[in-house]
Amino acid sequence: PFGKSCWFRSLFVHKVDARKDAHSNLLSKKETSNLYKIQFHNVKPECLEAYNSLEAEVQNRLHQDQDYPCEVVGSWNTWYGEQDQAVHLWRYRGGYPALTECLKKLNNNKEYLEFQKERAKMLVSRRNQLLLEFSFWNEPLPRPGPSIYEMRTYNLKPGTMIEWGNHWARAIQYRQENNEAVGGFFSQIGDLYVVYHLWAYGSLQSREETRNSAWLKEGWDANVHYTGRRDANQPHIYNPKKINPKAKVICAS
């Protein structure tokens, strides 16, 4: 039945046009064919320092070898959130073919296979996902000076990804003044309906001030309030443990 309550609720429902295309085609950047892989490695506490050194050494070697079509966007250790964790964000310029090419070469690289065996001794668990970047977010660029990074994870309700994109395409405009918006990504393979927003701040205090100033801007509150009902938000704070000299993305000094 269509009573007053149903009519009242209908005034506040945000409509999204029906689309006959994959979310990845509607939301991702058309001018690039970048594919991203995010890795979460939970490290044995007593092995974290050795793990960081080993991982940095192997990442540098991959970057020096032009035959591998991949680059590290950023590599971090968690400060606040899940402890003794390393997070790596890789970019494959060329999409799935570049990823496939890279994996084939690594599977035939004896040195890399030995690295995997050694690394496995240091890990408690690991997981990864393949991601695409939102068309309306900035592509990750270098950040001057020391920075901390916040990764906010959103698990969306199935069927709301387009709505999310519609609202955040507007909301992100309110977060550009302090250059804090690093990148926005959504999952393609692995856990689905997952969104990652990556932010950079000079310090925890500057994070607090930047976020508070956003709430004073008309329009930010409405967009964030609505999308907040579509997710379970999990913020984590990261410290960069290694900066790749070739990519020079998400950097700190």
pLDDT score for 137: 86
Q: Name the residue with higher pLDDT: 247 or 227.
A: 227
What is the spatial distance between Cα 189 and Cα 46, in angstroms, rounded to a whole number?
32
pLDDT digits (tens, 9 = 90+) for 74-101: 899 999 888 999 999 999 989 999 999 9
pLDDT at 229 over 50: no
pLDDT digits (tens, 9 = 90+) for 38-58: 999 999 999 999 999 999 999
What is the spatial distance between Cα 161 and Cα 66, in angstroms, rounded to a whole number?
36
pLDDT score for 23: 55
CA-CA-CA-CA torsion sign (61, 65, 70, 74): positive
pLDDT score for 238: 58
Three-state secondary structure call for residue 235: strand
pLDDT score for 210: 87
pLDDT digits (tens, 9 = 90+) for 6-29: 434 433 444 445 455 555 556 766
pLDDT digits (tens, 9 = 90+) for 117-163: 999 999 999 999 999 999 888 888 777 778 899 999 999 988 888 88
Where residue 179 falls among pLDDT bands split at 50, 70, 90? confident
pLDDT score for 96: 93
pTM of the model: 0.80
